[in-house]
């Protein structure tokens, strides 16, 4: 039968990656001095499953590598070997290596990493054995045609194990010409007779071209409890195999047969698979059930409405019914929308899971003692957001470990616990998800930051900004507080990039820091990228959407608060700040009712943590809008992040504030506020 195994390999990849994840987290939690047997078992099972699957699906390299892990873990599991830190390190590195191997297989590229050989060597030394035991390349020997006489005395118990002599004979018959003779064997007397026992013996004569190993396979499962002899009747075979010899050869032959399947698996069975990076998602049954329920409700409402629609005349009563139906339809549509969005929602533990490892590795590297606390791991957020938030989070965590947390000695000197605490916290607030990265380290050194900022000309020499304003400076491009460019940070990826990434997700980041107490970075993100809470504004005949999360306030500005800096640039005074104003119609080249600031409305919005004003004609409603990509449907437009279709069918463009600010040629606050 031809079965294409590649159809299962996607599932294999997914579950293997999951297995690696649980391996990693169990390894990280493991108390080396007294490992929990259940944890070791879980790790073993993960390695074991990956090995079994990869061998079956033809991924030989993965199979032979996991074999090493399995052997080591099996010995630890059975108490034949004591778990050490060295083992833990080797296994963690193996997790990384296997991830890369699987990744290469998924992308159909060759895997090449010196680490593989290095680790293989380490395992081999550790296990004191040949590094590739799985892949012996023995070839099945081929005998010439021969006649074998087999006597078979069944064990009394074989029926109780579900074995049946008739089936074994049927298997032999498939190998060649078979004669079966029942031998005259005594049966116990009635008092000792076990009705479920088997007391028979047979003599079988088999003429076959198959080797003895093949014949023996028929009895493979029962050979220990049955008496079986093989005798070659054929002259040719007799020279090599007398009955005594046959028994002597048996163990080797047994090895041979057990090795064969592995050898066969080396055939590239699953390599014909097409490249299918499907980006699948695992959804809990509950969510799907909810969705199906919702659709059911919709269908009922639809039936009700269509029934009403079939009436020729609409009386008052059916009008009321219809109104009710439409209301229901609205509720259900909204519910359905919410449940569909839920499908993309994953618990943030998917992102958090990588941090125990990261923190352990970095902590070791920096000789710092860190305890990682994860909170709110069940908090759900959109898969796309999750994928994009991980990098900024990694950067912030690195920063906290590198710059924030002090060395154990420093902490001791300050009267703190030697082990620092790093907390990752996630929770929902309104329509947003909040992710916090909190450390109890040194906090930001405001004096140093200010000095550096003055050197770089980011702050005027005689200026004395507030502490909060100084903290904000670390988000400026090109700013780094590291005295030296260390291995971990200061590699040209600064906090400005973190800020930019978060802004791209329509989120923002907030920083609170207290000297010697620690820092807290708060990332606020929309739950999904597909829907946006927007403020609709009118500029001339056009409607734009401004993300609600960026809006501070909207106001009419009296002429005495407007200052003209140049032909294009005007600022307004708002309390004790001066804000540049961008005329939206100007940037997008169309007409508006209000050409001057005093005639229209100024909407104060957040752009890269600076405030700017947008001049618009009128505020319309606030509503949730479904974001359509402009890039996919048209092309990328500066200052616009996407589009949406309004209830009346018109298209409204969604303003990308950061993009608009750069389009307007406003660099930073200092240019204008001075």
Partner 1 sequence: MKKILAVDDSASMRQMVGFTLKTAGFDVTEACNGDEALNAAKNGSYDLVISDVNMPVMDGITLIKNLRTLPEYKFTPLLMLTTESGTDKKQEGRNAGATGWIIKPFNPDQLLATVNKVLR
Taking the least distance from each CB to partner 1, the nearer of 104 and 127 is 127
| Residue 128 is among the residues annotated as catalytic for this protein | no
Taking the complex as a whole, how short is the minimal distance between the CB of residue 264 and partner 1, in angstroms? 7
Taking the least distance from each CB to partner 1, the nearer of 77 and 669 is 77
Among 34, 167, 182, 285, interactor with partner 1 by CB under 8 A: 167
User: In 3-state terms, what secondary structure has residue 181?
Assistant: strand
| Structure tokens belonging to residue 528 | 């999904």
Distance CA 544, CA 243 (A): 93
Q: Is 152 in the site for partner 1 (CB under 8 A)?
A: no
CA-wise closest residue to 215 among 199, 235, 237: 237
Distance CA 65, CA 418 (A): 39
| Residue 126 is among the residues annotated as catalytic for this protein | no
Q: Are 428 and 498 in contact (CB under 8 A)?
A: no
Distance CA 262, CA 135 (A): 7
Distance CA 655, CA 546 (A): 5
Q: Is 223 in the site for partner 1 (CB under 8 A)?
A: no
Taking the complex as a whole, how short is the minimal distance between the CB of residue 259 and partner 1, in angstroms? 7
Distance CA 352, CA 433 (A): 14
In sequence order, what are the residues at sequence separation of 6 or more whose Cβ sits closer than 8 angstroms to the Cβ of residue 107? Answer: 275, 277
Taking the complex as a whole, how short is the minimal distance between the CB of residue 349 and partner 1, in angstroms? 20
User: In 3-state terms, what secondary structure has residue 211?
Assistant: coil
Taking the least distance from each CB to partner 1, the nearer of 111 and 221 is 221
Q: Is 63 in the site for partner 1 (CB under 8 A)?
A: yes
Among 79, 162, 251, 492, interactor with partner 1 by CB under 8 A: 162
Q: Which helix (H) or strand (E) holds 582?
A: strand 577-583
Q: Is 159 in the site for partner 1 (CB under 8 A)?
A: yes
Q: Is 75 in the site for partner 1 (CB under 8 A)?
A: no
Taking the complex as a whole, how short is the minimal distance between the CB of residue 287 and partner 1, in angstroms? 19
Which ranges constitute the DSSP H helices of 346-406? 349-352, 355-366, 383-399
Taking the least distance from each CB to partner 1, the nearer of 105 and 612 is 105
| Residue 70 is among the residues annotated as catalytic for this protein | yes
Distance CA 466, CA 448 (A): 14
Taking the least distance from each CB to partner 1, the nearer of 12 and 152 is 12
Taking the complex as a whole, how short is the minimal distance between the CB of residue 208 and partner 1, in angstroms? 17
Among 196, 239, 462, 560, interactor with partner 1 by CB under 8 A: 196
> 23-52: which residues touch partner 1 (CB under 8 A)?
42, 44-45, 48-49, 51-52
Distance CA 182, CA 203 (A): 6
Q: Is 176 in the site for partner 1 (CB under 8 A)?
A: no
Catalytic residue among 70, 380, 406, 436: 70
Q: Is 221 in the site for partner 1 (CB under 8 A)?
A: yes
Q: Are 529 and 506 in contact (CB under 8 A)?
A: yes
| Structure tokens belonging to residue 345 | 């929602």
Taking the least distance from each CB to partner 1, the nearer of 133 and 540 is 133
Distance CA 202, CA 172 (A): 13
| Structure tokens belonging to residue 42 | 């879980």
Length of the chain: 674
Q: Is 574 in the site for partner 1 (CB under 8 A)?
A: no
**Cα-atom radius of gyration of the chain, to the nearest Å?**
37
Catalytic residue among 24, 48, 67, 503: 48
User: In 3-state terms, what secondary structure has residue 434?
Assistant: strand
> 507-566: which residues touch partner 1 (CB under 8 A)?
none
Taking the least distance from each CB to partner 1, the nearer of 168 and 397 is 168
Q: Which residues bind partner 1 (CB under 8 A)?
A: 1, 3, 5, 7-9, 11-12, 15, 42, 44-45, 48-49, 51-53, 55-57, 63, 67, 70-71, 134, 159-164, 166-168, 171, 196, 220-221, 224, 258-259, 261-262, 264-265, 269
Catalytic residue positions? 48, 70, 399
């Amino acid at each position: 039968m031809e079965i294409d195994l590649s159809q299962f390999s996607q599932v294999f990849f997914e579950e293997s990656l999951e297995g690696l994840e649980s391996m990693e987290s169990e390894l990280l939690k493991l108390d080396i001095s007294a490992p929990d047997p259940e944890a070791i078992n879980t790790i073993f099972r993960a390695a074991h499953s990956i090995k079994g699957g990869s061998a079956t699906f033809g991924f030989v390299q993965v199979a032979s590598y996991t074999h090493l892990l399995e052997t080591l873990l099996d010995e630890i599991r059975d108490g034949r070997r004591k778990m050490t830190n060295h083992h833990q390190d080797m296994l963690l590195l193996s997790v990384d290596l296997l991830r890369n191997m699987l990744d290469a297989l998924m992308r159909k590229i060759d895997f090449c990493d010196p680490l593989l050989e290095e680790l293989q060597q380490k395992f081999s030394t550790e296990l004191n054995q040949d590094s590739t035991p799985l892949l012996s390349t023995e070839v099945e020997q081929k005998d010439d045609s021969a006649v074998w006489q087999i006597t078979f005395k069944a064990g009394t118990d074989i029926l109780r194990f579900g074995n049946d002599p008739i089936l074994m004979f049927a298997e032999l018959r498939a190998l060649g010409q078979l004669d079966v003779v029942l031998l005259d064997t005594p049966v116990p007397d009635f008092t000792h007779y076990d009705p479920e026992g088997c007391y028979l013996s047979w003599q079988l004569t088999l003429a076959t071209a198959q080797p003895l190993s093949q014949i023996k396979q028929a009895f493979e499962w029962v050979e220990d409890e049955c008496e079986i002899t093989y005798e070659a009747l054929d002259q040719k075979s007799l020279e090599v195999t007398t009955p005594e010899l046959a028994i002597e050869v048996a163990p080797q032959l047994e090895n041979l047969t057990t090795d064969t399947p592995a050898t066969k698996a080396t055939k590239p069975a699953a390599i014909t698979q097409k490249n299918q990076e499907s980006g699948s998602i695992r959804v809990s049954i509950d969510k799907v059930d909810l969705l199906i329920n919702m659709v059911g409700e919709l269908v009922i409402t639809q039936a009700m409405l269509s029934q009403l629609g079939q009436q020729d005349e609409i009386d008052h009563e059916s009008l009321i019914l219809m109104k009710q139906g439409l209301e229901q339809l609205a509720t259900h549509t909204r519910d359905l929308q919410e449940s569909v969005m839920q499908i993309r929602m994953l618990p943030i533990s998917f992102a958090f899971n990588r941090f125990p490892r990261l923190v352990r590795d970095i902590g070791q590297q920096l000789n710092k003692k860190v305890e990682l606390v994860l909170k709110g791991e069940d908090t759900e957020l959109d898969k796309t957001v999750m994928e994009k938030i991980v990098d900024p989070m990694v950067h912030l965590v690195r920063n906290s470990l590198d710059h924030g947390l002090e060395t154990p000695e420093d902490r001791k000197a300050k009267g703190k616990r030697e082990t620092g605490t790093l907390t990752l916290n996630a929770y929902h607030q309104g329509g947003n998800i909040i992710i916090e990265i909190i450390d109890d380290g040194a906090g930001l050194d405001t004096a140093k930051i200010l000095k550096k900022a003055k050197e770089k000309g980011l702050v005027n020499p005689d200026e004395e900004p507030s502490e909060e304003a100084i903290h904000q400076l670390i988000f400026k491009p090109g700013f780094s507080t590291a005295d030296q460019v260390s291995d971990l940070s200061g590699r040209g990826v600064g906090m400005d990039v973190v800020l930019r990434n978060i802004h791209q997700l329509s989120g923002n980041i907030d920083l609170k820091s207290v000297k010697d107490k620690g820092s807290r970075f708060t990332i606020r993100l929309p739950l999904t990228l597909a829907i946006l809470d927007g403020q609709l504004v009118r500029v001339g005949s056009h409607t734009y959407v401004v993300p609600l999360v960026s809006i501070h306030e909207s106001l009419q500005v009296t002429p005495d608060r407007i200052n003209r800096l140049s032909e294009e640039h005007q600022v307004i005074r708002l309390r004790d700040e001066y804000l540049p104003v961008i005329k939206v119609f100007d940037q997008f080249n169309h007409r508006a009712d209000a050409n001057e600031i005093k005639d229209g409305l100024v909407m104060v919005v957040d752009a890269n943590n600076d405030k700017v004003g947008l001049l618009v004609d009128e505020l319309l409603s606030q509503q949730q809008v479904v974001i359509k990509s402009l890039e996919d449907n048209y092309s990328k437009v500066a200052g616009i992040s996407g589009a949406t279709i309004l209830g009346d069918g018109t298209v409204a463009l969604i303003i990308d504030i950061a993009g608009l600010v750069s389009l307007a040629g406003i660099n930073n606050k200092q240019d204008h506020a001075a």
